Amino acid sequence: MICEILSVGTELLMGQIANTDAQFLARRLSMLGITMHRQTTVGDNPGRVKEALREALSRADLVITTGGLGPTEDDLTKEMVAETFGLPMEVHGESLERIRAFFTSIGREMAANNAKQAMIPRGARVMPNRKGTAPGCIIEAGGKIVAILPGPPFELIDMYEQQLEPYLLSLSDSVIASRFLHIVGVGESEVETRLLDLFHSDSPTLALYCNPGEVTARLTVMCRRDEDPAPLLDPVDREIRRRMGSAVYAEGIDVSLPKEIVRRLAERGETLAVAESLTGGMLASQIVDVPGASRVFLEGCVSYATEVKRRALGVPQAVLDADGPVSEACARAMAEGALRISGASWALATTGLAGPGGGTPETPVGTVFVALAGSNMETRVKRFQLRSDRPRVRAMSCLYALNLLRLRLDEMET
């Protein structure tokens, strides 16, 4: 099945927001084995929406629109789809009731223009909006499918996961089964080199998705709905793990290293503290971003000024004088200080030079030290030399710090 995404919204054409809806849909559709050939963005302009829709329908079997479902006159995606298929718009009673109930729940009267959001092309399958007021819908006509989704990301994601994805899965008797292996600490080109011959297989197919410091390998097979895909996926899965070794840190879809750390520490009944210099709170923030982080995360010290490393974490003045704040010895003392002060089971520390200024020949911009301290172990410190801009150097430093702890947990659990 060939799919296109049609994003509607002047705010996208003006660059006010990034099109994360298109990214979310593209990623999820590719997991279903649906092929994407094109994504188009147009503004809230009736003629251009219709033109882009007609073009997309001439090339694709499935067109997913995002945005343009709001209450104002500008919002006209549903109306343009209806016109294209020659369908009249009708009030959808249940949606109207939901919208009215929503306004009642927040103690406000429903405005007249919100009633427009309950209008649906005749014959469409309605997708109720559990996170907002505008329902989505699916229209099957002329051998094509158009799915209409709202623009706000948390409305779109919920509607896709709860309603559109199950619908798309129901269309086919074969299903796509995927498995995701998450790899950290090995660069993209190195992963590619080690797995090169595996890319030539037709089943399972292998693809890599890359983020700074992290690579996800996706294995995909097509099988019958009632077939167990595991025996088809297992041999290549084992082969990847054999070649990548401990760099594979998890399997699954909605996985990240902070989530893994929170999950595993919670299972072990253990706690974590962090001490940060160049990451400046980003490491703590990534952990706190995981719902339920309070079960394992105790505290963070953003010891940005050198003096704070001494006073708040107990880094010896001798270390600061002789080795400096960007050094193995300082990272070690920061982690050990955070462990001692917090009473946590584990402490992670980061120090380094994110740039753009401040580099020296011995300690160039991009020099990063991450450290792990724990109660029954010698403190571990790793040095990295990262080549990137300030935000990315900081993000990769967080990942590498978390990976130190992950590797230690792996050791203890095998």
Whole-angstrom distance, CA of residue 156 vs CA of residue 148: 10
- Do 364 and 330 meet the contact criterion of CB atoms below 8 Å apart? no
Q: What is the DSSP letter of 17?
A: S
Q: For a second copy, which residue of 297, 346, 369, 400 counts as binding (CB under 8 A)?
A: 297
Nearest to a second copy of 92, 394 (CB atom): 394
Cα–Cα distance for residue pair 173/159, rounded to 1 Å: 23
Task: Name the strands in the sheet holding 174-184, side by side, starting at the edge strand that comes first in the sequence.
Answer: 205-211, 214-224, 174-184, 248-251
Binding residue for a second copy, selected from 53, 64, 274, 373, defined by CB under 8 A = 274
Q: Pick from 26, 89, 96, 266 the residue near a second copy by CB under 8 A.
A: 26
β-pairing verdict for 174-184 and 136-141? unpaired
CB closer to a second copy out of 281 and 316: 281
Residues 4-23 that bind a second copy (CB under 8 A): 11-20, 22-23
Q: CA 336 → CA 67, 331, 344, 378, distances in Å? A: 50, 9, 11, 10
255 binds a second copy, rule: CB under 8 A:
no
Minimum separation from the CB atom of position 16 to a second copy (A): 5
**Close Cβ partners of 228 (under 8 Å, ≥ 6 residues apart):** none
Write out the binding residues for a second copy, residues 32-71 only, by CB under 8 A: 36-43, 45, 48, 52
Nearer to a second copy, 222 or 341 (CB): 341
Residues 331-370 interacting with a second copy (rule: CB under 8 A): 341-342, 355-357
Q: Are 316 and 333 in contact (CB under 8 A)?
A: yes
Among 118, 168, 301, 401, binds a second copy (CB under 8 A): 301
Which residues within the stretch 93-152 sit at the binding site for a second copy (CB under 8 A)?
Answer: none
CA distance 96 to 293: 38
Among 2, 27, 243, 245, interactor with a second copy by CB under 8 A? 27
State which of positions 276-295 bind a second copy (CB under 8 A).
Answer: 276, 278-285, 287-289, 291-294
User: Which position among 50, 98, 298, 379 is part of the footprint of a second copy (CB under 8 A)?
Assistant: 298
Task: Give the footprint of a second copy on residues 202-241 (CB under 8 A).
Answer: 207, 209-210
> 77 to each of 51, 148, 151, 270, how far by Cα in Å?
12, 8, 11, 50
Choice between 131 and 227, CB closer to a second copy: 131
